[in-house]
Structure 1
Amino acid sequence: MNKTVLQLTDISFDYKTTKADTSNPILRNFNLTMLDGEFISIIGPSGSGKSTLFRLITGLEQPTTGDVLINGINYQNRFGRVGYMPQEDLLMPWRTVLDNATLPLEIKGVNKKEAYQKVNYLLDEFGLKGYANSYPSELSGGMKQRVSFLRSVLNGSELLLLDEPFSALDAITKLSMQEWLLKQWQALNKTILFITHDVNEALFLSDRILLITNSEKQVEEFNVPLSRPRNLRDLNKQTVIELKDQLIDQLRGR
């Protein structure tokens, strides 16, 4: 039986307003259990609380109520226990691919020689062979995201939070990166929580999809009716098309 990697229990969060002593509800009684090796996507309109949820999981924000458990423990400091990859690659322009990727190892106190050896070993697997000494300005959007993902993996956590990492890419590169991400996820045996606005992307990547509505902050869960391994043609299956239509209708409030 797979162990529970992430447990969110009755998570609520409000941003306090300054003009009046009122609050702006972002999340209400949110619950989630993620098992080891799962891939779950979260979709919902802007302002529904998706990115705030990630900030709560990483510890950048604290919930108004509820608990965030990583491997069954409510850590006060979750630094290094969760890998986070934002929408922007956030690579340091003055550092090479090698030096950008080794950053989490540096922070952990790993000596430079050992860090370089570890990253050099992984560059080929991440499609970055020959780019160790390149700077971010010399990379395509897809290559930058590969470096960013490698850096997140080197954090060492089994749980990765990916916040719309492919949204800025062109359509062809985006499809290629989705296929690449699935291969990396399966090879690395990570647990991934993924935010996207793209319903097709959520269907292709995920085991389950969580849909957060904007008005009542309700969360609905949908199992993706696809086995693994899978390919993009599987999105043409009738059961998947029907689920896609259902998700789009609910996103539109129908």
Structure 2
Amino acid sequence: MIKTVLHFDSVSFRYPKQEKGPLIYDSMKFTVREGEFVSILGPSGAGKSTLFRLITGLEQPTGGKILLNGEYFSNRLGHVGYMPQQDLLMPWRTIWENAALPLQIKGSKQADMRISVEELLKEFGLGGHEDRYPAELSGGMRQRVSFLRTILTGSQVLLLDEPFSALDAITRLSMQEWLLKQWEKRKKTILFITHDVNEALFLSERIFVLTDPPVSRMEDIPVPLDRPRTLKALDIPEIMVLKDRLIDQLRTKATT
């Protein structure tokens, strides 16, 4: 039986400073299962980043409950791994020191941290860069460090908020392929925010499409592609039709 790792149970939300303002989410329900890769599409202002703030515990629902692994936590901070748009690496810390931050926060022993971090740095193609600083790395390498740091939180649920949006086109494609390999190997559950329809189709098992606020439901679209997959799979007629439909939906939502 496939385990449910995230469940929104009739969740409503408006920002606390806007008590009489419009709801962003209104009794929304959805479920994400263990090991899934789910992308979230929607126009700017639809509430994509707010969704992640709710899941991480940076914001609390106005109504309803958010369950992680079937449990309700009044404080969800630290229960999921979060990778933002910017890598947020600390420029004064070395790559090793940046990567080890989640373990330091947990109070891990120095010797244990060094083993865990160095093994992952090698695995992520960053071996030999331990003592360098973020400014000395390429954008793709910095994002790999950021993802490594997210992995070291130990969470089975990882939230990635447009992590490749600042990269050039070629590096972005390379990082997408790299991320899929990491996901297939580690069996984590990933929720991935993106504006890029191609990216969503290439990476995902399912795509959630946000409607205009207040959001009561997200359209849940399965991606009809087998694993493993390559970028050429996006040229299959069935996928081309789905891509055009998604683009039309987003264009319509962005202009209404």
TM-score exceeds 0.5:
yes
Provide Cα deviations, 1:128-178, integer angstroms capped at 9, x if missing partner: 111111100001111110000000000000000000000000000000000
Tell me the residue number matched to 2:212. Answer: 214
Partner of 2:252: 253
Q: Which residue does 2:41 correspond to in 1? A: 43
Matched, 1:72 2:70: yes
What SS does the aligned partner of 2:117 have? helix
* Equivalent position of 1:108 in the other structure: 106
State the partner residue of 1:11: 11
Structure 1 stretches lacking a partner, 5+ long: none
Question: Is the contact between residue 206 and residue 224 of structure 1 (CA under 8 Å) also seen in structure 2?
Answer: yes
Note the C-alpha offset of 1:215.
5.0
- The alpha-carbon distance between structure 1 residues 71 and 238, as it changes in their structure 2 partners (threshold 3 A), is same
Alignment match, 1:24: 22
Which 4+ residue blocks in structure 1 deviate beyond 4 angstroms?
none
The answer to whether the 8 Å contact 1:17/1:24 transfers is no
Once residues 122 and 17 of structure 1 are traced to their aligned partners in structure 2, the CA distance between those partners, rounded to angstroms, is 42
Matches within 5 A, 1:77-96: 77-96=75-94
Q: Secondary structure at the match of 1:244?
A: helix
1:1-254 matches, cutoff 5 A: 1-16=1-16, 22-215=20-213, 217=215, 218-253=217-252
Q: AA paired with 1:178?
A: Q
Contiguous gaps of at least 5 residues in structure 2: none
Q: CA deviation at 1:28?
A: 2.0
Letter in 2 for 1:184: Q
**What is the aligned residue count?**
252
**What's the C-alpha RMSD, in Å, of the aligned pairs?**
1.3
SS in 2 for 1:25: coil
2:164 counterpart SS class: coil
Distance (whole Å) between structure 2 residues aligned to residue 145 and residue 81 of structure 1: 21
Letter in 1 for 2:181: K
- Residue 29 of structure 1 and its aligned partner are, at CA, apart by 2.2
Q: Aligned equivalents of 2:43 and 2:93: distance in 1?
A: 35
Whole-angstrom distance in 1 between the partners of 2:161 and 2:186: 19
- The percentage of counterpart residues that share the same residue type is 61
Alpha-carbon distance, 1:252 to partner: 1.6
**Mapped contact 2:208–2:219 kept (Cα < 8 A):** yes
Instruction: Return the offset for 1:17.
Output: 5.3
Using a 3 Å threshold, how does the CA distance of structure 1 residues 215 and 78 change in structure 2: closer, same or farther? closer
The CA distance in 2 between the partners of 1:155 and 1:60, in whole Å, is: 16
Q: Contact 1:213–1:251 at 8 Å: present in 2 too?
A: no
In the TM superposition, what is the alpha-carbon distance from 1:214 to its structure 2 partner? 2.1
